[in-house]
């Protein structure tokens, strides 16, 4: 894990990184949803996987599935059931065309939706792509104690989503609070 830059510190969004706290690596799976990408041209999956590992986390799995509700659900349910994944980050299928079905696949599986994720993602995305952010249906939530983040399929969207939001919430040193410290309590009744 490398030191963070001044630009990255600015992305902490009013929070701060407590350097005196221990870093807790998270088991993160990366899912690419696409009818056209494979291992040779999955650039957004490559970007995301590289960033997960560069942040000090473990890449617990990586897969590519087609834009198909059942294929998406099957892969996500398998990772959740494995007990070896703390978070899933998907890229692709969040647009508004007929083939974009990631939200339709994921939303019914969610125990809780993280409403603020979409809002924050769109605020940050607007700074990069302007009004085109309206074409994304990025979302996040929790499935049986596993965080799930669904990002658009472009490299820029993956960078915005990971670099400016997900990375910090999955960093146990982020304050005033972060999602890692909540993980032991996600299945409370």
Among 18, 3, 1, CA closest to 178 = 18
Q: Tell me which CATH homologous superfamily contains domain 24-148+158-171.
A: MoaB/Mog-like domain (3.40.980.10)
Edge to edge, the sheet with strand 112-113 lists: 58-65, 27-33, 87-91, 146-151, 139-143, 112-113
Distance of CA 91 to the CA centre of its chain: 8
pLDDT in tens, 14-67: 678 888 899 999 999 999 999 999 999 999 999 999 999 999 999 999 999 999
Question: Rounded distance, CA 128 to CA 117, Å?
Answer: 17
Residue 163: how many CB atoms within 10 A of its CB?
17
Q: Quick one: what percent of the chain has pLDDT higher than 70?
A: 93
Q: Where are the domains of the chain?
A: 24-148+158-171
Question: Is residue 91 a contact partner of residue 52, using CB atoms and an 8 Å limit?
Answer: no
In the prediction, which pLDDT does 12 show? 58
């Amino acid at each position: 894990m490398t030191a963070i830059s001044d630009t990255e510190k600015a992305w902490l969004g009013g929070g701060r990184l407590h350097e005196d706290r221990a870093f807790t690596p998270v088991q993160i799976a990366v899912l690419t949803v696409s009818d056209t990408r494979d291992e040779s041209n999955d650039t957004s999956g490559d970007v995301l996987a590289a960033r997960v590992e560069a942040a000090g986390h473990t890449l617990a799995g990586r897969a590519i599935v087609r834009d198909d509700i059942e294929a998406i659900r099957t892969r996500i349910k398998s990772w959740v059931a494995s007990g070896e994944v703390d978070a899933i980050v998907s890229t692709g299928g969040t647009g508004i065309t007929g083939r974009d079905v990631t939200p339709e696949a994921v939303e019914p599986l969610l125990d809780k939706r993280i409403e603020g994720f979409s809002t924050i993602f769109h605020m940050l995305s607007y700074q990069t792509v302007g009004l085109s952010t309206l074409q994304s249906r990025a979302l996040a939530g929790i499935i049986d104690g596993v965080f799930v983040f669904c990002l658009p399929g472009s490299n820029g969207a993956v960078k915005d989503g990971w670099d400016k939001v997900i990375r910090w919430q999955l960093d146990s040193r982020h304050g005033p609070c972060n999602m890692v410290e909540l993980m032991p309590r996600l299945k409370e009744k």
